[in-house]
């Protein structure tokens, strides 16, 4: 075992930090090192509890994680927090931003907070995050909370990396149903209507409760009574209901059972492998010098109406294949 791996296993913060930086790096030599490191790291005897926490910007994810994380740490857990936000162009400032929203957790020895690299493709960020999760778990963080902003593909990506996906929403009318339409709530294992408190003067508790009831009813119609996710209310700010949300997360886990969890994780691995391949292919397509050579011409011809899209696609793919002589473009096998 390398000394970095030993230090990670010993839970040394600086080593954990360094290991995560390594797995986040996209440089080829770092990728090799990262793979070696991960090969050295032991998997925990009991699988860590992996929870994704999503919801629109400002719904209160960080505040909720602070409240939950502090409680879990007090109960003797070691809590890792990862933030995934591939859509954002924020730089290192986001680390600061997230940490100031989690002031107690950020200074707690039993917790480790890390913001994702802000740059990069979703696949790249997903690769970094899933490997960072393994580093944290090897360092005996037994609960890993992954915060992701509820826009676009990042939710689906995070849902594919965690055991339980928690969706935070607000009582505002229409918001819930919109969520269903976007298919986001399909991913949720537990839903919490957040900000069910009277901070700021106005009492939102009743409103939150009826929103939860309405949403719970709608979901039972969609999924059926047995498979519908639990819908509860909470306030990350006051801490009310946070323990109940956690209990629902544990219930979901219990429902999966040890075998169900193992099966879920292995399917996630397979899907993730293919997602990484797709991501890499897209990168190669972008980098391909042959594609670059035909790009301008194809663009002009298509815009002028002289080349149909299908023929244009063939020309681009033919150029791409020039970069990879020997590839057999036989009949396509289904991906995964």
Ligand X SMILES: Nc1nc2c(ncn2[C@@H]2O[C@H](COP(=O)(O)OP(=O)(O)OP(=O)(O)O)[C@@H](O)[C@H]2O)c(=O)[nH]1
In the bound state with Mg ion, the residue whose beta carbon lies nearer, of 84 and 134, is: 84
State in angstroms the smallest separation of the CB of 82 from ligand X: 13
- Contact assessment for residue 2 and residue 40, using Cβ atoms and an 8 Å cutoff: yes
b or e along 80-107 (b: 16 or more beta carbons within 10 Å of the residue's beta carbon)? bbbbbbbbbeeeeebbeebbebbeebbe
Residue 130's binding partner, choosing from Mg ion, ligand X, none, with beta-carbon cut-off 5 to 8 A by kind? none
Distance, CA of 310 to CA of 297 (rounded, Å)? 15
In the bound state with Mg ion, the residue whose beta carbon lies nearer, of 82 and 143, is: 82
State in angstroms the smallest separation of the CB of 122 from Mg ion: 18
Residue nearest to Mg ion (CB): 62
Residue 88 lies near Mg ion (rule: CB under 5 A)? no
In the bound state with Mg ion, the residue whose beta carbon lies nearer, of 61 and 315, is: 61
- Contact assessment for residue 316 and residue 302, using Cβ atoms and an 8 Å cutoff: no
Residue 163 is classified by DSSP as S
Residue 92's binding partner, choosing from ligand X, Mg ion, none, with beta-carbon cut-off 5 to 8 A by kind? none
Residue nearest to ligand X (CB): 60
State in angstroms the smallest separation of the CB of 62 from Mg ion: 3
Residue numbers of the site for ligand X (CB under 6 A)? 55, 57-63, 101, 149, 194-195, 197, 199-200, 235-237
Residue 62 lies near Mg ion (rule: CB under 5 A)? yes
- Contact assessment for residue 11 and residue 109, using Cβ atoms and an 8 Å cutoff: no
In the bound state with ligand X, the residue whose beta carbon lies nearer, of 55 and 160, is: 55
SS3 letters across 54-116: EECCCCCHHHHHHHHHHHHHHCCCCEEEEEECCCCCCCCHHHHHHHHCCHHHHCCCCEEEEEC
Distance, CA of 174 to CA of 162 (rounded, Å)? 28
Question: Which token pair is 211?
Answer: 């929103």
In the bound state with ligand X, the residue whose beta carbon lies nearer, of 138 and 149, is: 149
State in angstroms the smallest separation of the CB of 328 from ligand X: 46
State in angstroms the smallest separation of the CB of 41 from Mg ion: 28
Given the rule CB under 5 A, which residues bind Mg ion?
61-62
């Amino acid at each position: 075992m390398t000394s970095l791996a030993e230090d990670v296993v010993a839970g040394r913060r600086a080593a954990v930090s360094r290991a995560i930086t390594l797995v986040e790096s996209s440089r080829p030599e770092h990728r090799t090192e990262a793979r070696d490191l991960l090969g050295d790291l032991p998997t925990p005897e009991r699988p860590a509890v992996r929870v994704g926490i999503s919801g629109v910007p400002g719904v209160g994810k960080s505040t909720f994680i602070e409240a939950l994380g502090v409680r879990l740490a007090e109960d003797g857990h070691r809590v890792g927090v990862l933030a995934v936000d591939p859509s954002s162009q924020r730089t290192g400032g986001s680390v600061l931003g997230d940490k100031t929203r989690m002031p107690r957790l950020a200074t707690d020895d039993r917790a480790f907070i890390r913001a994702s690299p802000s740059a990069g493709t979703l696949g790249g960020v997903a690769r970094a995050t899933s490997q960072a999760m393994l580093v944290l778990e090897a360092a005996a963080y037994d609960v890993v909370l992954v915060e992701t902003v509820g826009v676009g593909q990042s939710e689906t990506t995070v849902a594919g990396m965690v055991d339980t996906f928690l969706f935070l929403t607000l009582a505002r009318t229409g918001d819930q149903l919109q969520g269903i339409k976007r298919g986001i709530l399909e991913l949720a294992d537990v839903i919490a209507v957040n900000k069910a408190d009277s901070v700021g003067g106005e009492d939102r508790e009743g409103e939150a409760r009826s929103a939860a009831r309405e949403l719970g009813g709608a979901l039972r119609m969609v999924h059926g009574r047995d498979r519908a996710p639990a819908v509860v209310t909470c306030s990350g700010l006051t801490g009310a209901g946070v323990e109940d949300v956690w209990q629902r997360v544990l219930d979901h886990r219990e429902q999966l059972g040890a075998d169900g969890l193992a099966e879920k994780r292995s399917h996630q691995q397979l899907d993730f492998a293919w997602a990484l391949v797709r991501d890499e292919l897209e990168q190669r397509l972008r980098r391909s010098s042959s594609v670059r050579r035909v790009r301008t011409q194809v663009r002009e011809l298509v815009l002028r109406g002289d080349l149909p899209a299908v023929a244009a696609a063939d020309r681009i793919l033919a150029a791409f294949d020039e970069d990879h002589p020997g590839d057999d473009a036989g009949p396509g096998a289904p991906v995964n």
